[in-house]
Structure 1
Amino acid sequence: MSPVPLRNEKAAEASVRSVTILGATGSIGDSTMDLIRAAPERYKVEALTANSNVEGIVKLAKEFNARFVAVADESKGAELRAALAGTGIETGAGESAVTEAAARPADWVMAAVSGAAGLKPALAAVDRGATVALANKECLVCAGDFFMDRAAKAGACILPADSEHNALFQALASGSRDELTRVIITASGGPFRTWKAEDIEQATLAQALKHPNWSMGQKITIDSASMMNKGLEVIEASYLFALSSDEIDVLVHPQSIIHGMVEFTDMSVVAQLGSPDMRTPIAHCLGWPNRISKGRAAPLDLAKIGSLTFEAPDYARFPGLKLAYDALRTGSGATTVYNAANEIAVAAFIAGKIRFGAIARLVEATMNGWVRAGNLAPLSSADDAISVDHKARKLAASLLPEIAANAS
């Protein structure tokens, strides 16, 4: 049975659902806690984690009476213990403590730890057969085949929490897998949708961070500006729903109202619409297989919006999207390399070491170098994926000076 349930069949709703939020102080975590806050009678918090934000996680732990709290930054362990002394709340620090949080007996786990660091904790929840709301791209981009196989074997239920994948998940309930022709992921086009290639090349950090629709963290906002984020979503969709690259299309939709569409064999196209608010897909996952009504986003007013427009993606101006398809077709860790190189490139752009246009060039150079070196091999474990991630980062870092020097 697929770990992603393709039909949303109603089931008896438990009176209280125990939940764990991995990455509780990030933007996804904030939205999740808002939804839980709106319906305290329905949810009890088993565990919460953060990277290093002790003040934020302590505040949440006390508000929601969590049983266990962990920070990934081991140096913050003593501070966390002191802040929660006398509360009865257990604490931990370091990578193993975050994994312990995921392994605790919660019915539902939000996997929102960013980066490759989120892979092992998500797998800990998967291995005990939990329902996992997946908001960490790296679990699939870095180890998609392995992750989904392990989820299927453990009987875990994977619910996509990203807006685009959640939209596809909802639309897929309208037909069977055999009836599917293709899925369509929408993209806002980001702040540079109408810019000329030479202007995109020289874009500043401040310009890249001005997303027209979504309020997100720095890294994902820059990825949206380069459309690397959409490339990552194409890869995710492939692994989540067992789709080939030819079954996944991207459509630029500046209003960000339609988040995903599914085309079936009779040429019916089913779309999911909603305001650009992450609470909508998170609420769908939190309440699944039922829907919840508290803490929700604002109602969608199509009359006020007036019109919805669409454009084909421009691979020449946004080469990062094409590179994602290349990585997906190459397989054998190439998507892991794509993600790792992009993270190095984005960090270099933020630090002022490369131009915006060089982000995609560094990713392409890293992927080409990886393939030429004969590094391609199937990934069979989390350690395999993490090893490829680390090696790809080193390769990207070694290529960085050349890419910076050859800026066009």
Structure 2
Amino acid sequence: MSDSPAPLADPHLVYDPVAGTGPKDVVILGSTGSIGTQAIDLVLRNPDRFRVTGLSANGGRIALLAEQAHRLRVRTVAVAREDAAEALREALTAQYGTGEPLPEILAGPEAATRLAASDCHTVLNGITGSIGLAPTLAALEAGRTLALANKESLIVGGPLVKALAKPGQIIPVDSEHAALFQALAAGTRADVRKLVVTASGGPFRGRTKAELANVTVQDALAHPTWAMGPVITINSATLVNKGLEVIEAHLLYDIPFDRIEVVVHPQSYVHSMIEFTDGSTIAQATPPDMRGPIAIGLGWPERVPDAAPAFDWSTASTWEFFPLDNDAFPSVNLARHVGELAGTAPAVFNAANEECVEAFRSGALPFNGIMETVTRVVEEHGTPPTGTSLTVPDVLEAETWARARARELTAQTTSAAEARA
């Protein structure tokens, strides 16, 4: 962090564009997911501002992907599953009229990466999980503005992403980091005392660790304020999502971990805050709706009118803030630890967590077993070597090991439970 004052509207990775004319050409990665569908809604309501040129999806919702492609008249559609390519072609043919040319189809594990490097202004990376790393790197290397909702790619490949990103090339789309981005404009870098990242507390706010022992998958998916995909929703229940956001905030804004605080705010109205050295705190607040952060990601430096609902200040409301219970939710402190270790440690943390979330969803792990297993995998991984540059193969090797070890430990937990029964 620089000691000299500098406007925080432009931290190292935050967008500082030269405004152009006409609609921005946008590629949306993960178009059939929560972020993607909301981004498309925003685009369709603002055709004078945005034009979608390409879409990518995993391949589980082919009919929706084809409908999106036809409605937006995109040039290219990418699908990660090669076995879904023919079904996609048939779905597109059914959508398009006779004689209408179909969009180009890309298929396979590298399809989203190829699309991320295509000719456009902005790439919105709304993919879930560390598979978003390669598209993130491709978009940056191609010089595209990256609207980043895929936090995992920054977390597992932090040094790789930061080495490629030019000043201002990344705009954060997470609600918390979009909030920090806006609040940071109120001061200078030297004025910042701490970043305050808010958490709803998820569906289990207020419960002790013992009370979490027997919660179900359905309980964990019942998020009180946000509608998200199952993996992110369970990550919000364990507060792993908040731990990842702490690492992301550190990487985006170059603020040390001991100056990034998490506070529980059940209403999810205040998305994050900046505390300045004079005692002032600047908060960014909107009703919980991801279309606002998406609009910041796609539209900045211009704001998109009516992108999301505003508060009705004529109606009384109460906003509450509570300290985080680190005993019941150890994930945030573990994330700080792996963030400070750096190297491949964040990749190990994230990959082990992804495996454990799937094990919980399938009934192979209890809820508390998620973080117990992730903690053990991180401990076994140890301290990454220092003095070496992180590479993509390093990340992939670490993830492969972490996933395999998490599966082994999960199997041991299952066997022990069966023996006790």
Q: The TM-score by the shorter chain falls in which range?
A: over 0.9
Q: Taking structure 1 as reference, are residues 56 and 334 closer, same or farther at Cα in structure 2, changes over 3 Å only?
A: same
Q: Determine whether 1:96 maps to 2:110.
A: yes
Q: Tell me what 1:332 maps to.
A: 343
Per the alignment, in what secondary structure is the counterpart of residue 322 of structure 2?
coil
Q: Taking structure 1 as reference, are residues 89 and 200 closer, same or farther at Cα in structure 2, changes over 3 Å only?
A: same
- Amino acid of the structure 2 residue aligned with 1:337: V
Aligned-residue Cα RMSD (Å) equals: 1.9
TM alignment of 1:313-392, pairs within 5 A: 313-371=324-382, 376=385, 378=388, 380-392=390-402
Q: Determine whether 1:136 maps to 2:150.
A: yes
Q: Taking structure 1 as reference, are residues 367 and 302 closer, same or farther at Cα in structure 2, changes over 3 Å only?
A: farther
Q: Tell me what 2:137 maps to.
A: 123
Distance 2:168 2:66 in 1: 29
Q: Taking structure 1 as reference, are residues 403 and 222 closer, same or farther at Cα in structure 2, changes over 3 Å only?
A: same
Task: Find 1:185's aligned residue among 197, 201, 210.
Answer: 197
- Amino acid of the structure 1 residue aligned with 2:359: A
Q: Tell me what 2:49 maps to.
A: 42
Distance 1:268 1:375 in 2: 38
> Structure 1 residue 302: deviation in Å?
4.5
Q: Tell me what 1:105 maps to.
A: 119
Q: Tell me what 1:145 maps to.
A: 159
Distance 2:35 2:270 in 1: 20
Q: Tell me what 2:5 maps to.
A: none
Distance 2:389 2:402 in 1: 14
CA contact (8 A) 2:136 2:153 kept: yes
> Structure 1 residue 264: deviation in Å?
1.5
Per the alignment, in what secondary structure is the counterpart of residue 54 of structure 2?
strand
- Amino acid of the structure 1 residue aligned with 2:34: S
Q: Determine whether 1:394 maps to 2:387.
A: no
**Once the two structures are superposed, what CA deviation does each residue of 1:182-238 show, in whole Å capped at 9, x if it has no partner?**
100000011111223212111111111111111111111111111111111111111
> Structure 1 residue 406: deviation in Å?
6.0
Task: Find 2:280's aligned residue among 245, 268, 271.
Answer: 268
TM alignment of 1:49-64, pairs within 5 A: 49-52=56-59, 53-64=61-72
TM alignment of 1:115-264, pairs within 5 A: 115-152=129-166, 157-264=169-276
> Structure 1 residue 15: deviation in Å?
1.6
Task: Find 1:84's aligned residue among 88, 92, 96.
Answer: 92
Distance 2:158 2:279 in 1: 29
Task: Find 2:38's aligned residue among 27, 31, 53.
Answer: 31
Q: Tell me what 2:97 maps to.
A: none
Distance 1:401 1:283 in 2: 43
CA contact (8 A) 1:163 1:281 kept: yes
Say which is worse superposed, 19-28 or 44-53, in terms of deviation: 44-53
CA contact (8 A) 2:199 2:264 kept: yes
Unaligned runs of 5+ in 1: none
Per the alignment, in what secondary structure is the counterpart of residue 194 of structure 2?
strand
Say which is worse superposed, 29-38 or 283-292, in terms of deviation: 283-292
Report % sequence identity.
39
Distance 1:42 1:231 in 2: 34
Distance 1:253 1:33 in 2: 29
TM-score when scaled to structure 1? 0.93
> Structure 1 residue 109: deviation in Å?
0.9
> Structure 1 residue 13: deviation in Å?
4.5
Say which is worse superposed, 393-402 or 214-223, in terms of deviation: 393-402
CA contact (8 A) 2:11 2:168 kept: no
Tell me the number of residue pairs that the alignment of Structure 1 and Structure 2 aligns: 401
TM-score when scaled to structure 2? 0.91
CA contact (8 A) 2:263 2:324 kept: yes
Q: Taking structure 1 as reference, are residues 13 and 267 closer, same or farther at Cα in structure 2, changes over 3 Å only?
A: farther
Per the alignment, in what secondary structure is the counterpart of residue 184 of structure 1?
strand
- Amino acid of the structure 1 residue aligned with 2:65: I
CA contact (8 A) 2:23 2:47 kept: no
> Structure 1 residue 397: deviation in Å?
1.3
- Amino acid of the structure 2 residue aligned with 1:81: R
**Once the two structures are superposed, what CA deviation does each residue of 1:18-40 show, in whole Å capped at 9, x if it has no partner?**
00001111000011000000011
- Amino acid of the structure 1 residue aligned with 2:83: S
- Amino acid of the structure 2 residue aligned with 1:402: Q
- Amino acid of the structure 2 residue aligned with 1:61: A
> Structure 1 residue 98: deviation in Å?
1.5
Q: Taking structure 1 as reference, are residues 27 and 379 closer, same or farther at Cα in structure 2, changes over 3 Å only?
A: farther
TM alignment of 1:299-310, pairs within 5 A: 299-304=310-315, 306-310=317-321
Task: Find 2:305's aligned residue among 288, 293, 301.
Answer: 293
> Structure 1 residue 399: deviation in Å?
1.6
CA contact (8 A) 1:4 1:158 kept: yes
CA contact (8 A) 1:126 1:150 kept: yes
- Amino acid of the structure 2 residue aligned with 1:141: I
**Once the two structures are superposed, what CA deviation does each residue of 1:304-362 show, in whole Å capped at 9, x if it has no partner?**
35111111001001111211111112222111111111111111100001110111100
Distance 2:389 2:293 in 1: 30
Say which is worse superposed, 296-305 or 41-50, in terms of deviation: 296-305
- Amino acid of the structure 1 residue aligned with 2:36: G
